[in-house]
Amino acid sequence: MREPEPMMTLSPPDETRGLPEGFSYVTDINPNIAVELRYAGKDNFTGSRVDGYLSGDAAILATEAAKALSDVQKKLEEQGIGLLIYDAYRPQKASDFFVEWSKSGEESRKEEQYPGIAKRELFSRGFIAERSAHSRGCAVDVTLIYMHSGECLDMGCEFDYFDRISSHGANGITYEQAENRKLLKVAMQDGGFQPYSAEWWHYEYENESFPDTYFDFDVRGA
C-alpha cells in the first residue's frame, strides 16, 4: 500500500540469524498460524524471489503485533477458522526490488496479478510503495483458512490481485465472498489491526512499536 512520508531512519542489515530486539517469529508465539510467504518464491506479482526473503515460512513481526495476531487466531479458532500469512515483516531491500522491477520489461505475471493496470501505475495507485509499513514490522497480509483442511476461504480474488475488485466493499463479488472478507476484517479490527481500503488482505497494527524506523534485515529462519 502507499505510505505517508514520516521521518525515516533505516536499520543496518542483519548480520546474524537472530532478530533485532522487539521482533519475534509469529509461529514462536502461536504455531497454529499458517505461513506461506509468497515473496520467498516465484508465485508473486514479480515472477521471481524478492530480495531479502530467504525463507518461505519465517513470518516475522514486531513482538506486540505478533502477540495481537495470536489473539486474533485464538478467537477465530472458536469457529474452526485460522489465519494464513502471505507477508509480514518486509526488508526495505524488498521494496527497493519492487522499484527496480517496475522499471524492467518483466511482465510474466501480468495476466494473473495486474491485468488491467500498467505496472508503472502500481505505485501511483497505491498497490505497492517505495516504503512500506511492512518494513516497520507492523503490517501483515493475511487470509482465512479452515483449520481442519488448510483450505482457503473464498475471498473473491487472489492475494496481490491489483484491481478494484480487491478493495473492501468492491462490486463484482458474491455474498459469500463479501461475508468472508467481513469475517476477516472484523476479527482483525477487534485485534487492533486496521484495514487498507484497496486490499482486503492488508492490515496494520495500530499500536506499532517502530513508527519511524524501516528495517532491512533479511527474512530467514532461526
CATH number, domain containing residue 49: 3.30.1380.10
Predicted model pTM: 0.92
Task: Verify whether residue 199 is a known catalytic residue.
Answer: yes
Residue from 199, 204, 206, 208 carrying the catalytic annotation: 199
Is residue 158 assigned to a domain?
yes
Is residue 100 assigned to a domain?
yes
Question: pLDDT for 99-121, tens place per residue?
Answer: 999 999 999 999 999 999 998 89
Please state the domain count of the chain: 1
Question: pLDDT for 137-191, tens place per residue?
Answer: 999 999 999 999 999 999 999 999 999 999 999 999 999 999 999 999 999 999 9
Give Cα separations from 120 to 47, 123, 124, 170, 188 (angstroms): 16, 7, 8, 23, 31
Residue located via cell numbers 506486540:
64
Is residue 222 assigned to a domain?
no
Is residue 147 assigned to a domain?
yes
Residue located via cell numbers 518494513:
135
Question: pLDDT for 119-133, tens place per residue?
Answer: 889 999 899 889 999
Q: Do 68 and 139 meet the contact criterion of CB atoms below 8 Å apart?
A: no
Sign of CA dihedral 200, 206, 211, 215: negative
User: Which residues span the domain enclosing 30?
Assistant: 9-214
Question: pLDDT for 88-101, tens place per residue?
Answer: 999 999 999 999 99
Is residue 220 assigned to a domain?
no
The DSSP code sequence of 155-185 is -SS-TT--SGGGSTT-SSS-HHHHHHHHHHH
For residue 127 the three cell numbers come to 498497490
